[in-house]
Structures are given as C-alpha cells and as structure tokens.
Amino acid sequence: MEVSEAQGATIRQRLAEVVSTIFGERTYRNLARHRLTLIPSQAYSLRNPNWRVVVMKKVLLCAALVALWAAPGFGQTTEELNSDGKNTDNVLTQSMGYSRKSYSPLHQINKSNVGRLVPVWNASTMNELGELAAPTVYNGVMYVINGKWSFAIDVETGRQIWRTATKIEPANKHTAFNRGAATIYNGKVFRVTIDDHILALDMKTGKEIWNQKFANTEEGYYATGGPIVANGVLISGVSGGESTTRGFLDGWDPDTGKKLWRRYTIPAPGEPGSETWPKNTDAWKYGGGPTWRSGSYDPDLDLVYWGTGNAEPYDPKKREGLDSLYTSSMLAIRPKTGEIACYYQYTPNDIYDVDGTDEPVLADITINGQRRKVMIQANKNGFMYVLDRTNCKLIAAHPYVKVNWASAIDLDTGRPVLTDVQKRFTAGEEVEIWPSRGTNAVPEAFDPNTGLIYADTWNIPRLQKIDPNAEPEELGEATTGVAARTPNLKPEDVLGHFLAINPLTGEKKWEIPLTELPSSAGMLATAGGLIFTGKMSGEFLALDEETGKTLWQFKTGSSVNSTAITYTHNGRQYVTVASGLGGALATRYGAAKVPAGGSIWTFALFPGK
C-alpha cells in the first residue's frame, strides 16, 4: 500500500491529536518544543516500502518519551539545582540560585524598553494572610506557596494545574504565612507549615507524599522559612526566638521524610560554645537562636550557610550578659551531617533583636588583587558584613543605615565597638536604638558586573527598656523581658530607602528615600540594567541600576512584600511577583492603608517597538 503526502499529513495530524488527548496538551507542546517529530513525512514516501515499521517505531518512541516526561522521578537533580540560573527557563531555588544573588543574566527586558512591560496574567492565591514567598519554575510550571495553599500554575496562561490546602492544627496560635520559596527537587515540592510540619507534595498532582512534625507549637515553636536541598539532604529551620525555645536545623531524607540529623543552635553544657552561657543554669534550654529564614549553599565547598536569630530573653541578666553562642550568628554547616564547620557571630549578647538570619549572598570578588570566596549580609543590626566563606573570618563591615548602638566593627576581633547605649539600657534607662532593623527580612541582590549590593532599608528607631513588670518565663509564651515601642512618626519622615552600596567600602552609589511607608520587598537585579522591587503600598517597580530612578511601575492589588523572579518561556522573558499584605511588621504599618488579598502577577514586553 502506498501513501500520498496528503494522507501522510493526515496520519501525522491524527497521531498528534491522540498524543494531546491522552497525555495532555502540555506534553504535546513539550515534545514539539524539543523538535521531536512524531512521524516524519519521509515515512510515507513511495520509495519507502517499510513505512508501517517506521510509523510503529515512531509511535513507540513517542510513548517512551511521554512515559519519561510523566515519570515521578523526572524532576530536579542535584546537578540542576547546583547550576540554577544557567537554564533561564527554570528558577529552581529562592533568589535565583543557591548563591542568593537574586541576579539574572537576562536582558530582553532592559532600560530602553521596560516602559512596554505589561501584565500578561494574574492568578489569585485565595489568601488574605500575606504573600511573602517567591515562586519557583520548572519545565513551564510555576510553584507557589502561602500559609493556606500550595499551587502549580501554567506559566504561559496563569491557569491553575492543581492546588493543595494546608492543614493547620487547632492549637496553632500564629498567623499562617511563608517566606522563602516553594522548594522543588526530584519530582517533589517541599514546604513547612506554621504549625511545625515539613511535607513533600507530588509535583504533578499536588498530593501529599510524606509529612513530618518536627516541633511542638505549645512550646513556642512555629515555622515560616523555606527549606533547601543541599547535596541530596533537605534542610529546614524553625521560628520562635521571642518564645522559650532553643533553635535548631533539621536534615531530612527528601525521598522518605526520615530525619537524618538535628543541629541545635544553642550548645548543651560541655559542647563547644557552652562557655558563653551561664553555668549551672538551664538558660541554654530556652536561649533562642531561631533559624526562621533560609540558607545559601556552596556546592564546591559543600557548605550550607544559615543565619540564626536573637538570644532569648532580650534582657541579658538571665544570660549574665555573655555572648550566647550561636545566636545572631552565621553558621557554615556540612549538609550530610549538620556539623558546624565554622561560624561568625554578628552581635554577641544580642539585646536588640537584630538577629543574623538573612540569607547571605555568596560571591567571588577580587580583594587586594586576590580572588576571594565571600559571603555578604546586610544585617538587621545596621552593618553590612563581608566574610570569607571558607573560614567565616571577617573581611569588611560598614554601616549601611543610621547606627547608634555601635560605632564600628573591629576588624581584628570581629566584635562591635559598643557605644553607651547598651550600658544605659542595662541600667534601666529607656534608650532609642538605631536601627530597629536595617532591613525587614527580605533578600538583597548582588550584580556581579557592578559589584554592588541592592537592598531596601529601614530608617526607624526602637525605644526599649527593661520591663520591671515582666511576666515570669512560661514555656511557649513570649518572654523577651523588655518593653519596646516605636516613636511617633510624622507624615514627612523618611522611613527607609532603596539602596545601592559597595559592600567592601561601604560607599553608597545611590539612596532613594521612602516616605509614608517603608518597603518590605526583596530586590532582583538583571543584566538589562534593572532592579525590580516593590512598595508596601502595592507598586511593583523597575529601577535604573545606575541611578535608582523609577523607570516603570505597576499598581498591584495589595502590598508587594516578596521578591520578584525572571525567566524565559518559549524564548520570551517574563517577570513574576507575588502581591499580598502580610508579615508582622508590614501588617502593622500597612494594614490601615493597604487592602489584603494575595495574587501572582506575571509581566512581559508588549509586542512592537
């Protein structure tokens, strides 16, 4: 039997329809995108008497490819995670890569055409509690989490593929929200829930694969940060530094949910660092040191860098004014074992709740003619630190906002040079502390081409004194031991800035003042010369990397408190950001002025010139 070209075309069309009907339009598009021709026209040539064999081989090949596409194990490998950012179709980790640079080499959207940026879709997240987590993207699917839901969304259309509700225990006392990002690896989506569960969902269906409870809400623990997968180990942290808790990190088997190790951030008596806690007391059992953000990872050194929070209580008397390791510190952890390779303590004897939890940026920069592996953090205490990430030694530290509790960081000792603020505070005086926080728990960006850090900063002090009427410590309850308040603010007060700064020298390239409301949005830098960020009042912005000038803005429906991502799909660059007022401080400052309600906004250039 001979088949004409027209008949061959009909057969090809019918087979394409079968593949699309049985396996879905997405699978057919993926096959077509990779130029996998189902049945070539040569198969029907009059010169090919074996056309039936060719057709059958192609059908079997197609079936095999579809099976591979649908296989549960078809997901992110360790190699893909380690090289996140090289394939611009995917965003596999928070901050566009393990190094947490929040930088993209994409430049299709740039300073010359950003005015043509328009929304292409918007998707509700069915949530009024806050959108602080960034999306992740893999093979044309976007994964989104918040305190109430987990979603899979088609990046091309914004249509929901699946959604899974978060189950919260009745004993939970905290507002349910999530920071970080949806963590994806080997066909699974990992996340924590506010009531101290870590779980794995099937990336294809959203169905729960495993679920582990790792702490008790009644003891003051809760969870908001994003886990990471490093060298095949899933690592998660915990919140609760204002309660009677002892911080920790957990390592998990991502396939089974089996706990592999636990690393407490407060050493027990006899362990290294225990000499920084009072002897013959149980202060270490409730000493704080939460791990409520996420971590960075250097695959070459095989080290995870994870910051810890404040010492508990803030009143230092119970801690005898000692350094209280490993609170307000950066820990370098070996992911397979949880062993501490090295550490740096930003704020010994933290009495101001300035923490050290922000994810450090990992970069390789030239210092005095030598290429150095560094990590950079804009600490809440108001200083920006550059550390050698091979040994956690201090290289540089400069104030990036107004600071009055310390005059400098001693480069020889690595310790802050204290002013009289701490002495007056411990004597019982109400003191004004600058800053209350340098930034508000959002990622900064680093452009390797400019060598600059881009951050949003806060310009608000805190008034604090030891509370003589503080309630006795009670397990699971807030026991800071201090009375703190914010001074009255005037409408014209500058409450924060968008900032570009050289982390090695402390030189500021530009600083854009913010009035009315500070910002709780992260920063995204691109090779197009743009910095994407947002305002608490709901504007999503593109700033000129050179000057900080706003080149484009779009008003979303609620506050922008997350960090944008950018990626390509079918050769077109997209920018996506979550909108939705949430988080304790953003809600405190913005609730009266900004409506709640979560959504995901995706933008691309309007066609034309």
Annotated catalytic residue: which of 353, 355, 358, 456?
353
CA-angle at 506, arms to 500 and 511, nearest 5°: 30
d(CA 150, CA 256): 20
d(CA 332, CA 346): 14
Query: Are 551 and 519 contacting, i.e. CB atoms less than 8 angstroms apart?
Result: no
Tokens of 157: 């259309």
Query: Are 349 and 334 contacting, i.e. CB atoms less than 8 angstroms apart?
Result: no
Q: Where are the alpha helices (DSSP H) in 339-381?
A: none
Query: Are 530 and 114 contacting, i.e. CB atoms less than 8 angstroms apart?
Result: yes
HEC string of 257-305?
CCEEEEEECCCCCCCCCHHHCCCCCCHHHHCECCCCCCEEEECCCCEEE
d(CA 537, CA 95): 23
For the chain, the farthest-separated pair of C-alpha atoms sits apart, in whole angstroms, at 100
d(CA 72, CA 204): 8
Q: Please state whether the peptide bond connecting residue 435 to the residue before it is cis, i.e. omega within 30 degrees of 0.
A: yes
Q: Is 410 a catalytic residue?
A: no
Other Cβ atoms less than 10 A from the Cβ of 17: the count is 11
Query: Are 451 and 218 contacting, i.e. CB atoms less than 8 angstroms apart?
Result: no
Rounded to whole angstroms, what are the CA distances from 306 to 131, 232, 480? 23, 17, 23
The catalytic residues are 353
